[in-house]
Amino acid sequence: MSKHSQTAWDFAGDDDPAAANRNYQRDYMAEKRAKERDIEIPPVDDPARRAGFEWDDEGFLKYYGGHVFYNPFTLDQKEIIAGISDRVRYGGPQAIAAERGGGKSSITKWMAIKALCYGHSKYLVVLAGNGTLSSRILGDIKYEFETNDRLAADFPEICIPVRALEGAAQRAKSQTVNGHRTCLEWQTHQIVLPRIEGSPSSGSIMVAIGMDGAIRGLVRGPLRPDFVIIDDPQTRESAASRTETQSRRETIKQDILGLAGPGKIAAVMMLCTVIRCGDLADEFTDREQSPEWAGIRQRFILKWPERMDLWDEYIVMRHADQVGGDVSGRKARDFYLANRAEMDKGAAVSNPYRFNSDKHEDGSQMEVSALQHAFNLIATLGRDAFEAEYNNDPKSLTAEDIGINEMAVCKKLNSLKQGESPGDKQRTTAHIDVHGRRLDWAIVDWSAGLTGSVVNYGEQVVHAPTGAVTSDENIEHTRAAILSALLEMRELFEAATLGPVPDCVTVDSGWQPQPVYRFCKISGPKYHSVKGCGQGQGEKFRLPTGRMAPSRRGAHWFMTQPPGERIWLIKYNADHYKNAVHTGFMTPADSPGSLSLFGDKAGVHRNFARQICAEVWVREFRAGKGWIEGFDVLHHHNHKLDCVAAAMMGAEYLRIAPVERANETQQPKQKRAGRRRRTYAERRSA
């Protein structure tokens, strides 16, 4: 009697042969299915070859990915390979701006395969500009594991279980090796490699996700991502949007860099292409703006040819060919062949293999050199687009093109020492922005035409009680702490500790007016409580007119008395002054209305600049509503923007007029006593 029948008889008893037969059939089929699910892993075809490629990145890519990397690696491509390898070994972030179409995505995919095969990364994350691009990257990697015979020969513990699925991912749930489940996962956006005893890749995870995906939730059990490759983190649409660029910047700095967990350095490699000035690639590869990313910018054309006049003629000729119906521009190509020695003179390209060697019907090549290919791209795209996407050197845009940006603010320096006033200073104003845990402040010197120099800025601690500062049990203590901090600030101002003694100090009373009113009452006439009105404050600014018009007012501010308070409050148009601050930082130095920062090192002002750029003014057309304009809030840490805007309002309060009003000829008002009251008939005739 067989093992199965014996087990069945023992279970069912001798009195029920039918039940015993059913049990026998059940056990037999279960064992048969288990054998069918069990995968046999063959031995490694060449262990020495596999071991030799573990630390030979270029050799691995050439042998297993030879169908992709059929040309020798260029210096730029070697730099990308080495950069990814260094991040795997030593961690830390790096950004490389590579030319468009230069092979960075292919290198990314194959270096990810290598990291998984050797277990150098147990949890690899590849991020792309959006979810579609990321799933395409993972799809290409899955395809190599499924079809690449060389990989299957040297890494059978990965490829054989994957091939056994035969395209049906649901089979992975019951797949076994030596009777043990492989726990293989083969999904669209995530793969988990088979758990095979002794395999360095056992259980390794790879996730592909778009920049718009849920990045913070990538912890899986005890595993956190140990290596992140960011491949082209922006699309053309996102690069053109300041809001989207800021959102992705925060995703990289706050979400991605924190994936490794507490006390660990995230290994992050960003491969990108500059699309326009001020985009993510432009920022993260700028070593002055983002030194921690060790940015590298690669170029297609390393040196421009000496005879640019011949290339201008070539482009004109190529356009003429295309107008005549010859899309490939054969006459222009023949012109290049006839003058190639002169046209190539002095030029150097990073990738000499990058050109279209396809042939026409007559056997002639479409392109014969990488330099010709570069100028064909220039003829098609234009010089500015080529410089941005192939040379990673975008044209510097004007303020109208790009608006306010952090680097422009950081670089607007006047070389004065911190706290030092310019020689043409007329007045000094300061503003204090009130919060529950701190006071933000800024001191600005002003000269003619409302030209400002930020001489100092900072924060003062408010020693509010622990817990919610506005709770019933804490609110009075919080107000007392605010008043105490304001008094400390007054002492610092009057002692000239922070800079020149201000002629006017404004204090924001929008959040907690009581301690601010109290402070201004006891501090003298140059301390004023103020309240901004505008989109961010939820209160539209309206300048009172007629009988409601106050005696003291300006074009964008007026004085009033709060109900029940015997104190003057200045209300001002916050939107107007924030726009004026942005314009000031984008205005050339020494021009009326310009704003500048102390010092000669841009890096020290990065946090200040970020707050200045926390809001941007946008104007867009919306169907059914027409043109809509207002501030687009990128993030809510805008306190230094509020400080400088209110300080500018304080300068106008002190009669430092902006250039448009400073240049106006002031006409003396005619005294009422010198005018004759018109008769009723004269008024009717008028």
Q: How confident is the model over 198-238, as pLDDT tens digits?
A: 899 999 999 998 887 778 778 888 888 888 989 888 888 88
Of the segments 35-39, 130-134, 391-395, 495-499, which one has the largest average pLDDT value? 495-499
Q: With contact defined as beta carbons under 8 Å apart, do 231 and 84 qualify?
A: no
% of residues, the chain, pLDDT over 90: 53
- Taking only Cα atoms into account, the Rg of the chain, rounded to an integer number of angstroms, comes to 35
pLDDT of residue 367: 92
Of the listed ranges 98-107, 409-418, 455-464, 566-575, the one predicted with least confidence: 98-107
- CA–CA separation, 577 and 645 (whole Å): 5
Residue/partner pairs of 155-159 with CB below 8 Å, 24 or more apart:
155/44, 155/50, 155/117, 155/201, 156/41, 156/42, 156/43, 156/44, 156/45, 157/41, 157/194, 157/196, 157/199, 157/201, 157/202, 158/116, 158/117, 158/193, 158/194, 158/199, 158/201
Taking only the tens place, the pLDDT of each residue in 372-405 is: 999 999 999 988 889 888 998 887 544 444 567 8
> To which residue do tokens 């998984």 refer?
116
* Residue 468: pLDDT over 80: yes
Confidence label for 667 from pLDDT (cuts 50, 70 and 90)? very low
pLDDT of residue 12: 47
Q: How many CB atoms lie within 10 A of CB 270?
A: 26
Q: What are the CA-CA distances from residue 237 to residues 240, 253, 391, 519 (Å)? A: 5, 21, 20, 49
Of the listed ranges 162-166, 274-278, 510-514, 552-556, the one predicted with least confidence: 274-278
Q: What is the DSSP letter of 466?
A: S
**Token digits of residue 601:** 């090192």
> To which residue do tokens 């040297």 refer?
154
Confidence label for 669 from pLDDT (cuts 50, 70 and 90)? very low
Beta-carbon contacts of 18 under 8 Å, excluding residues fewer than 6 positions away, are: none
Mean pLDDT of 61-68: 95
Of the listed ranges 11-15, 289-293, 492-496, 637-641, the one predicted with least confidence: 11-15
% of residues, the chain, pLDDT over 70: 89
pLDDT of residue 443: 98
Of the listed ranges 33-37, 321-325, 588-592, the one predicted with least confidence: 33-37
* Residue 428: pLDDT over 90: yes
* Residue 6: pLDDT over 60: no
Q: How many CB atoms lie within 10 A of CB 428?
A: 24
pLDDT of residue 221: 81
Taking only the tens place, the pLDDT of each residue in 455-464 is: 999 999 999 9
pLDDT of residue 641: 96
Burial class (CB in 10 A: 0-12, 13-18, 19+), 290: buried
Q: How many CB atoms lie within 10 A of CB 233?
A: 26
Mean pLDDT of 139-156: 94
Strand order from edge to edge, sheet including 557-560: 557-560, 569-573, 527-533, 504-508, 427-434, 438-447, 451-461, 595-597
pLDDT of residue 283: 87
Q: With contact defined as beta carbons under 8 Å apart, do 321 and 331 qualify?
A: yes
pLDDT of residue 680: 45
Residues composing the chain = 686
Q: What is the DSSP letter of 143?
A: H
- Whole-structure pTM over 0.75, yes or no? no
Of the listed ranges 268-277, 328-337, 579-588, the one predicted with least confidence: 268-277
Q: With contact defined as beta carbons under 8 Å apart, do 281 and 100 qualify?
A: no
* Residue 651: pLDDT over 70: yes
* Residue 564: pLDDT over 60: yes
* Residue 33: pLDDT over 70: no
Taking only the tens place, the pLDDT of each residue in 86-138 is: 988 888 899 999 988 888 889 989 999 999 999 999 999 988 888 888 888 88
Query: Which residues, in sequence order, are bridge partners of residue 633?
Result: 615
Average pLDDT over the chain reads 86
Of the listed ranges 80-94, 251-265, 300-314, the one predicted with least confidence: 251-265
Residue, of 262 and 605, whose pLDDT is higher: 605
Confidence label for 15 from pLDDT (cuts 50, 70 and 90)? low
* Residue 39: pLDDT over 80: yes
